Amino acid sequence: MYNHYTLVGNFIIVLTGYKLHTPKYLIKQLPTAIVFLNTEFEVVHISDKWITDFNFAGNNLIGKSIHELFESVNEEWQAVMEACLLGKGGDTGLQSFRNKEGLQRWFEWTNIPWFDPNENIIGIIIQAADITERINNEMQQEKLKLLLNEKSEIAQIGSWEYDAATDELQWCQMTRKIHEVPDYFKPAINTGLEFYKEGYSRNTISLALYKAIETQSSWCEKVELITAEGNEKWVIVVGKPLYKDGEYKGLIGTLQDITHMVQSEIKTRESEDLLRTVIDNIPLNVYIKDLESRKILVNKSECKYLGVTDPSELLGKSDFDLYDKEIAQISRDEDLMVMNTQTPSIGMETVNVTKDGVATSFLTSKIPLIGADGECKGLIGISLDINNLKKQEAELRDLINVISLQNKKLVNFAHIVSHNLRSHTANFSMLLDFLVKEKDEQEKQHIIGMLTTASDSLLETLENLNEVVAVNSNTNLAKTQVVLYDKVGIVTKNLAEFLKENKATIINRIPKELKVNVIPAYIENILMNFITNSVRYKNPDRDPIIQLSATRKGQYDVLSIADNGMGIDLQKHRDKLFGMYKTFHGNSDAKGIGLYITKNQIEAMRGKIEVTSEVGNGTTFKVFLNEKD
C-alpha cells in the first residue's frame, strides 16, 4: 500500500536516496511525531515518537484510519484534512489529549498535502508537536501577570522603570492610576518629579533620584504627591539602581498609595491627642496601673498632686513608693479587689497621705482594664480632690453646731423667761385672790406688803432678762484691742472698798504688754464678776487671794482666774454652774445671774469658758478670748 517513491517536506533529500526502503525506517525514527495518511485517512507511515506520544505502543497502526486512532478528531481538523487533500496545506491547530496517566497534554498539529513526484496528492502528512510545556508556561505567565495585577490593585502598588540609556521613564498601569494620568500620558523624570508636593516631598525625591543616579544607591521614602486631578496622596516611593553585567542601566522601583493608611494613622493620632488632652486637662487625677499596681500612665493633675513636673518621674512606681505605708496597703487591697473581681469600685471616699505627711481627701473610682482576651490587665483610677468640699463640709458642720447650740440657748432662755414670768404672775394672782377674800385688816396689809415684794422682784427679773437679751442681741458691738493688764487694774480700783473689806489680795500676773481682742465693757464686767465671786465665795478659814494670768493658746488668749475660795462640787453642779438663777452656796445675796451673764458675754465675743475646782481649795476659771474673729 505504500509508495516508496513518494517524498515529503524536509525529508525530501533523504527520501529521494537510492535505498528504497530507507523512507520507512527513516520516518519511523524521526524525532518528531509524524504520520502519513493516504486519501482514505489511513496510516501509511508513522514515527515511533507518534506512537509513544499518543500512547499506541504495541499496536500495529499501519492501515488504520485516523478516526480509529483519535475518537475526538474535531471538526476543524477534519475540515483541514479534507482541504489538504484538495491541495491546501500548512494549516496548524491545537489538539488536547489525555495521556495514559490521565494528564492533559497539548499538541500543535501541522497538515500538509502528500505529493507524489508527479505532483499528485496521494495523502496527508501530519506533524504533531507536544507543546504541553509551552502551553503550561504560557498559562503560568498569564497567571503570574494576573496575580501581579491583582496584587498591585489590592496593595495599590505600582511600578516604574527608568532606562538611563534612552532617558525613558515607564509607568505601569497602577502607577498611572495613582498619578491619575490618562493612558496616553508619557512620563519623564522631570515631569514625574513635578507630581511631588513642593517642598519636603519634592526635595526628598529629587535628592534620592540624584543620589541614586550618581552613587547608585537605593531609597525608600514616604512623601506626598498631587495627582493630575489635584488630589493629595501619601505614597511610599522605592527606587533602586538596575545593573546588567555589572553595568548601570537605570532605575526600577515601586510606588505605593498609602493615603488611607496615613489618614487612618493621622486619625488615630488625632484621637489619641484628643484623649490625652482631655485626660491631661480635666480637673481629676487620672492614672492607669498594671497588675502590680505600678503606674503606667498619669495625667497632669496627678503629677501636680504628687509634686512632680514630668510623668516619667511617676511611671513604674507603686503606691508604696509614693504614699505612707498604711495608706498604700489599703490602696493596694482595693486595687486587687477591683482587678480580681473585675468589678469597678465607684466613688469611694479615700484619704491619701503623701510621704511628707500631707493628707488629701479624694472621691476615688477604680475601673478594671480588661483586655480582648477577657483577662484583667490593670486598672484605671480616677480621683477627685474633695479636700475643699470636706473643709466646707466641716465648716458647715461647725456652723450647724453653733446654730443648734444657739438655738438650744434660745429655747432655754425662752423657758427661763416663761418660768420667771409665770412664777411672778402666779404669785400675783394668788395674792390678789387672797386679798379679795381677806376680811382681817392686818392680814390684808401683810398681803399688800407681799404684793409689793413680788412686784419689785418682777421688775428685777425683767431687768436681768433685759441685760441677757442685750448681750445676746448686741453681737455686732465692735471688738477692739485692749491691754488686759490695765483692765484688771481698773476693775481692782473700782472694787477697792469691797476688796479691802474682805482682806482680799489680787495678784496680777498678766503680761503688761498683752493686748486682747474684746468688747471693753464686757471684759470689765467679766473681770468684776469673777473677782467678786471669788471674794464672795471665799473660804471662811482664810483671806481670799485671787491670781490672774494669761497665755496665748492657738487662736485664743486664755485668761486664767484662780482663787483659794471654798470651791464648787463640779460633779453635782457643773451643768448648772452657768445657768440662770442657779446658786450653789447658801449665801443670801447669791442671785444666780452673774455667771449666766458672764458666760453670755464671753460667747458673744465668740470665746468659751472652762472651770476646774476642788471643794475647800478653790476654783480656777479659764476664759478663752478669741483673737481671730
Partner 1 sequence: MKKIETIFIIDDDPITVFGIKKLLGVCNIGAEVHSFGNGKEALECLNNKLARNESLPDVVFLDINMPIMDGWQFLEEFVTLPLIKRIRINIITSSIDPYDLENWEYYKARTHHLIDYRNKPIDKIEIEAITKAA
For 530-543, give the secondary structure using H, E and C: HHHHHHHCCCCCCC
| C-beta closer to partner 1: residue 19 or 415 | 415
Q: 241: helix, coil or strand?
A: strand
* Cell numbers representing residue 220 in the block: 525608600
**What is the C-alpha to C-alpha distance for residues 81 and 110, in angstroms, rounded to an integer?**
10
241 vs 594 by CB, closer to partner 1: 594
The 3-class SS string of 175-203 reads HHHHHCCCCCCCCCHHHHHHCECCCHHHH
345 or 427: whose CB is closer to partner 1? 427
Beta bridge partners of 350: 362
CB-wise, 295 or 599, nearer to partner 1?
Answer: 599
Q: Which is nearer to partner 1, 294 or 591 (CB)?
A: 591
Shortest distance (Å) from residue 611 CB to partner 1: 18
Kindly list the residues in this chain that would bind partner 1 in the complex (CB under 8 A): 415, 418-420, 422-423, 425-427, 429-431, 433-434, 450, 453-454, 572, 576, 581-586, 590, 592
C-alpha closest to that of 450 among 478, 431, 473, 429 = 431
| In the complex, minimum distance from the CB of residue 568 to partner 1, in angstroms, rounded to a whole number | 12
Least distance between partner 1 and beta carbon 445 (Å): 14
At its nearest, how many Å lie between partner 1 and the CB of residue 618?
20
Shortest distance (Å) from residue 423 CB to partner 1? 4
Nearer to partner 1, 489 or 592 (CB): 592
Minimum CB distance to partner 1, residue 617 (Å): 20
Query: Among 215, 169, 177, 217, which residue's Cα sits nearest to residue 193?
Result: 169
Residue 542 Cβ vs partner 1, minimum distance, rounded to whole Å: 23
Residue with cell 465668740: 606
Rounded-to-integer distance, Cα 450 and Cα 448, Å: 5
Output the CA angle 533-602-491, nearest 5 degrees: 45
Q: Are 517 and 481 in contact (CB under 8 A)?
A: yes
* Contact call for residues 351 and 327 (beta carbons, < 8 A): yes
* Minimal distance, residue 438 CB to partner 1, in Å: 9
| H helix runs in 182-324, sequence order | 189-194, 200-215, 259-281, 300-305, 319-322
Amino acid at 515: K
Which grid coordinates are listed for 370? 480588661
Identity of the residue, 594 or 607, whose beta carbon is nearer to partner 1 in the bound complex:
594
CB nearer to partner 1: give 440 or 541: 440
